[in-house]
Structure 1
Amino acid sequence: MKYGAPHIIDEGAVQYQLGVLKGNQVLYDFGKMLTYLDAKGKLLFGKKFKIYREDREIIYKLCLYFICDRERCSQHGIDIDKGILLSGPVGCGKTSLMKLMKHLVPHQRPYEVVPCRNIVFSFNHIGYKTIEDYGNTQFFCFDDLGVEPTGRHFGKDCNVMGEILLSRYDLFMNHKRKTHVSTNLNAQELEERYGERVRSRMRQLFNLVAFDKGSRDKRK
């Protein structure tokens, strides 16, 4: 990335211009962003990666969010001060998209994508320090929320991700630190898994961006 040019990204010998600078504003071009995301996706995930036409509406909303287009986000019911909860069926591409989108805005502080099951395994090994570690001021995207096992440390069960989400809520309210999540579960299933209190906090933490229930499994 060139200093002072957030809309120009260098990938090796290739330069991608995602829009034009007008005054102190970048006017992004969605077609150019798609071209870059497709190229970056192939670099990250291999040559078989592709952006499917039926996913463009989802990607468009995510692009608006990450480039902080407040006006257009508002038109789509997205609050750029909240995080993203990206939901959809297994294999629809949620994890890849969340890993990919942060590269669109290299001038912003990046978030780390962490599988929820790995967090629970860490809790099982080292205990409550894990919850403290993920309740800190870093930016995270918790991947595959809701399919992780119940945590158990020294014989005591703990809904690890539920506790972490409560900590992230406090962080959001006090320090405006955003959290992102990907999940296969719908709202009712999330409430059954984590309880009404956590579900209530999640409504304040996240914008819901959802793939269609019939989205294809791209891994097949």
Structure 2
Amino acid sequence: MIDESMLKFKKMFLLEANKILKREKRSFEIDAQNEHILNFIYAYFSNSNILENKFNGRLHKGLLIHGSFGVGKSIIFEVLEILYKKYHFKDFAVKNVNTLELMDETIRYLSNPILSQNDETLYKKYSKATVHFEDLGLERKIQHFGNSIELMDEYLLIRYNEFRRNGLKTHITTNLNLEALKKRYSPQLYDRIFEMFNILEMKGTSRRK
């Protein structure tokens, strides 16, 4: 089941996805393992009523997409970045942030002796606008003033507060399933995941060839 708004977004999405993959001499694959989640994505970003009526999704929540390496999680947000540059539609405006790069940026920030006593400034930078955190779980804990900090716990709990206050959306792609996320991060964050996100599993094995 697909409506006109979904169909329009699907055409735009697939066009840009295939342009990206053409550089790798492959095309965007749709099959039984990813068709359902892709239809969810089409409904979500086209604001279709089908999102709630058929997929039991919630537009006010972000997306948490988990699955194995190479199944096609990150390309969704690569395409959105391209679509926003072309069409400037606000629902496509997502800042892509790799968690490994964010960890390095945070370490540099906290190592600055002038700023190290005022840690909230960098956190505020990432508590605004819609953000996609890519590869959640690949980052390691960092040390600051003798304390071990689970970096993404900090960022995501701050964004949760903004979600509650202002409806701020966060998107996540990760190779960790829900059980692994529960073991890795704090109980406070894990409990809030279900309130913040539509949780989607992208099944299958790597499509990289």
CA distance in 2, matches of 1:49, 1:145: 26
Q: Deviations over 1:47-102 (max 9, x none)?
A: 52423223222111011011111344343121111000011111101001122245
| Deviation readout 1:144-198 (Å, 9 max, x if unpaired) | 1112111234553211111111001000000111110011111111111112110
Do 2:43 and 2:50's aligned partners in 1 also have CA atoms closer than 8 Å? Answer: no
Superposition CA RMSD, Å = 2.3
**Preserved contact between residue 142 and residue 181 of structure 1 (Cα < 8 Å):** yes
Equivalent position of 2:5 in the other structure: 28
Partners of 1:76 and 1:195 in 2: CA distance: 29
Q: Quick one: which amino acid aligns to residue 192 of structure 2?
A: R
Structure with higher RCO (Cα < 8 A, 6+ apart): 2
Give the equivalent residue in structure 1 for 2:109: 126
Q: Which has the higher strand share?
A: 1
SS at match of 1:50: coil
* 1:162 matched residue in structure 2: 153
Distance 2:69 2:153 in 1: 21
Determine which structure has the larger helix proportion and give its number. Answer: 2
Relative distance call for 1:39 and 1:27 in structure 2 (3 A) is closer
Counterpart of 1:152? 143
Contact 1:124 1:151 in 2 (8 A): yes
Does structure 1 conserve the Cα–Cα contact (< 8 Å) formed by 2:126 and 2:155?
yes
Q: What are structure 1's unaligned runs of at least 5 residues?
A: 1-18, 20-25
Tell whether the 8 Å contact from 2:99 to 2:135 is kept in structure 1 after alignment: yes
- Provide the rounded CA distance (Å) in 2 between the counterparts of 1:163 and 1:68: 30
Q: Tell me the TM-score normalized by structure 1.
A: 0.78
Instruction: Give the fraction of aligned pairs with identical amino acids, expressed as a percent.
Output: 23
Tell me what 1:43 maps to.
19
Q: Which residue of 2 aligns with 1:15?
A: none
The structural deviation recorded for 1:131 is: 2.3
CA distance in 2, matches of 1:100, 1:89: 20
| CA distance 1:151–1:74, shift in 2 (3 Å) | farther
**Whole-Å Cα distance in 1 between the matches of residues 54 and 70 of structure 2?**
29
- The answer to whether residue 91 in structure 2 is matched with residue 113 in structure 1 is no
- TM-score, normalised relative to structure 2: 0.82
Task: Write the letter of the residue equivalent to 1:48.
Answer: R
Shift of the 106–210 alpha-carbon distance from structure 1 to 2, 3 Å rule, reads farther
Task: Answer whether contact 2:77 2:94 (CA < 8 A) is retained.
Answer: no
